Structure 1
Amino acid sequence: MSPINTADLHRIFDKLDRNGDGVVSIEELMWLLQTIGVQTSRDELELLVGKNGLLDPIDFLLFHDIVIKGKNVDQRKLRQEDDIEGKFLEKDLAKAFEVFDLNGDGFISNDELKNALCKLGLLDEKCGKDCKNMIEVYDTNSDGKLDFEEFKDMMLLSDS
């Protein structure tokens, strides 16, 4: 999977800033999480974002580095050390998997990944070849699609 670069993050920021005010609010972050099937409370997000509940472009980049990338954190080790948190993570990943598995067959194909990312506003339609590359990196059995375990590895072990 290609790492998300700064230009990608700026594009994502612009898509998340739905009202165009130059900041991403808690509500806009909650919209994204709900769109991908992850349930969280406003209080949890406020702990991550801060008391004012707003991320400017620089704060968003830092938020990505700290929260999304899990900088300097071994996600597998955290999951093993905290079984309760691991169960929640597994449920969230299962919900996210369902968002991408559009036909419900238990696999994510190149077309399903491309369609889901386009619907979320995170990928241009012309960037479909990147989806094939993302799948190839984590497709351990070389069947051209991701099952749940491969998807989990992609989400937990990617450098993006």
Structure 2
Amino acid sequence: MAITFLSLEELNWLLEKIGVHYSLNELESLVGKRTLDYNQFLFFWGSISKRNSSSSSGNGSDHEQENDDDQTGVVDDVDEEADLAKAFNVFDMNGDGFITSEELQNVLSRLGLWDEKSGKDCKRMICAYDTNLDGVLDFEEFKNMMLQTSS
């Protein structure tokens, strides 16, 4: 199986689709390289989700956030959920509330992360996180997948 990489331009396109805006220079500074493989992309997504959640929850220090856990934790959870919902909608191309292996393949293809030889990988990725075994990912399954890969 050939390893496919995601360019910063493609990453920037995806981020803009979910409402996250960076310049290419900022992205290169954050990522530290010009391309990402699939695992690096998932790691980056997890870190960018956390960064956006924490930056929007206030500009206080870590100490202040520890003392304000009740309020900040709720804001972080809401922001994280909103970010995940935006990402989910990118993959749920027909808007039916589920991500099929075909939709996943389509998005990964547009991002340059899928080729003919890896077609079965999309089904395997869906099956790996499909807890109710219906062959598709609903939002909760997608959220669990993204939170698991980012920790």
Spell out, residue by residue over 1:126-158, the C-alpha distance to the aligned partner (whole angstroms, 9 max, x if none): 311001111111101000111000011111103
Q: Give the conservation status (yes or no) of the 8 Å contact 2:31–2:44.
A: no
Match of 1:38 among 18, 35, 38: 18
Q: Structure 2: 5+ residue runs without aligned partners? A: 51-69
**Residue 139 of structure 2 is aligned to residue 148 of structure 1:** yes
How do residues 117-128 of structure 1 correspond to structure 2 at under 5 angstroms?
A: 117-128=108-119
Q: CA deviation at 1:38?
A: 2.4
Q: Which has the higher helix share?
A: 2
Percentage of pairs with the same residue: 46
SS at 1:105 equivalent: coil
TM-score, normalisation: structure 1: 0.60
TM-score, normalisation: structure 2: 0.63
Counterpart in 2 of 1:23? none
Q: CA deviation at 1:82?
A: 2.5
Q: 1:123 to 1:156 in 2, by over 3 A?
A: same
Number of residue pairs matched? Answer: 125
Counterpart in 2 of 1:109? 100
Q: Structure 1: 5+ residue runs without aligned partners? A: 1-6, 19-27, 74-79
**Residue 33 of structure 2 is aligned to residue 56 of structure 1:** yes
Q: Give the conservation status (yes or no) of the 8 Å contact 2:97–2:138.
A: yes
Find the aligned partners of 2:119 and 2:112 in 1 and give their Cα distance. 13
- Alpha-carbon RMSD across the aligned residues, in angstroms, is 3.6
Spell out, residue by residue over 1:49-86, the C-alpha distance to the aligned partner (whole angstroms, 9 max, x if none): 64xx783359x68x86974455xx9xxxxxx9632222
SS at 2:119 equivalent: helix
Q: CA deviation at 1:92?
A: 1.4
Counterpart in 2 of 1:131? 122
Find the aligned partners of 1:129 and 1:92 in 2 and give their Cα distance. 28
Q: 1:126 to 1:68 in 2, by over 3 A?
A: same
Counterpart in 1 of 2:91? 100
Counterpart in 1 of 2:63? none
Spell out, residue by residue over 1:1-46, the C-alpha distance to the aligned partner (whole angstroms, 9 max, x if none): xxxxxx84xx42xx4155xxxxxxxxx6533312xx3223438x94
